Structure 1
């Protein structure tokens, strides 16, 4: 839902005086959500009702020790599958007593490795020299 759609709903409260509780019942949108929209509208007008980017965009909540563990294993020869990496990482997370990452997170760590570094680690200096 974009800011304009939010304004069309919130306008009923702001301009027509319909209570937020009645608006929540009629629209099926939670009262707390409507209250947040109203606070954002009061602070910044209609423009403030647009979608806000997440504060944690681009960050990983995976423990740094586990990131290093996955990167190390992903650069070993022969390269293990993502499923194997995930299984080993879950065991390491249990050993470190931290939350285990999801399969998608392990895959994202592996995919974020520098291709030149992967070439050097898995195929050797001759392949690295030829490609990079």
Structure 2
């Protein structure tokens, strides 16, 4: 949804004084999202409603070594449970002095 489409929805609240809760029910957009859009609009006008890319897009927080270790474990037969996989990955990451996966 681009800025123009967001403004079309938000305009009903700003100009026509339709409550955000009623607008959320009519449009299917959550009330919290509408509140966030309204806050952005008040701070910077309709141009601030443009969607932004995430700053951490395509950035892995888990090290490549830990990912490779988890993939290796996940592909063995019989496949370990997720809890076991996580426990082993945390142990391996601590042994390599890397941050543990969540």
- Same structural fold, with TM-score higher than 0.5 when normalized by the shorter chain: yes
Q: Larger RCO: Structure 1 or Structure 2 (Cα < 8 Å, ≥ 6 residues apart)?
A: 2
What is the CA-CA distance between 1:17 and the residue it aligns to? 0.7
Find the counterpart in structure 2 of residue 60 from structure 1: 60
Please identify the structure whose Cα radius of gyration is greater: 1
- Alignment deviations for residues 2-52 of structure 1 (CA, whole Å, 9 cap, x no partner): 111100000000011111111111111110000000001111111111111
Alignment equivalent of 2:92, drawn from 89, 96, 107: 96
Q: Point out 4+ residue stretches in structure 1 off by more than 3 angstroms.
A: 88-92
Corresponding position of 2:20: 20
* Structure 2 unaligned spans of 5+: 75-84, 94-99
Structure 1 position 86 matched with structure 2 position 71: yes
For this pair of structures, how many residues does the alignment match? 85
> For residues 1-132 of structure 1, what are the structure 2 equivalents within 5 Å?
1-63=1-63, 65-66=65-66, 70=68, 86-88=71-73, 93-96=89-92, 98-99=100-101
If each structure's helix is expressed as a fraction of its own residues, which one has the higher value? 1
